[in-house]
Amino acid sequence: MIRLEKTCEACPEQYDAFDGERLVGYLRLRWSQFSVVCPDVGGEEVYASPIGDSGWEGEFEDEAQRMVHLHLAKAAIEDWVKRNA
């Protein structure tokens, strides 16, 4: 099970992802682009999605949007972990 730890509230909103105690992903929302890379910064992009349309967004619009994208991100990270076990 992937556990997320928020490391920055906004501009960018970002998270580290862990499988147990092992760092397996980095999630970031900046400039209206949400991206997920594994296992860390500079790694393989496993999920990406535009967020908003003004070009400056650094956080999700609301909790519902956040939950949808974090759920999809965790699923993509879990797939990456399985492929790279």
Check residue 58 and give its pLDDT.
81
Average pLDDT over residues 44-68: 86
What is this structure's pTM? Answer: 0.92
73, two tokens: 């991100």
pLDDT band at 66 (very low <50, low <70, confident <90, very high): very high
Q: How many domains does the chain have?
A: 1
5, two tokens: 């730890």
Neighbouring-strand partners of residue 30: 33
Range of the structural domain that residue 49 is part of:
2-83
Instruction: Tell me: pLDDT of 55 over 60.
Output: no
> How many whole angstroms from its chain centre is CA 84?
18
Cβ(42)–Cβ(17) under 8 Å? no
Average pLDDT over residues 58-77: 94
**Residue of 59, 9, 7 whose CA lies nearest to 34:** 59
Instruction: Tell me: pLDDT of 52 over 80.
Output: no
Neighbours of 11 (CB within 10 A): 13
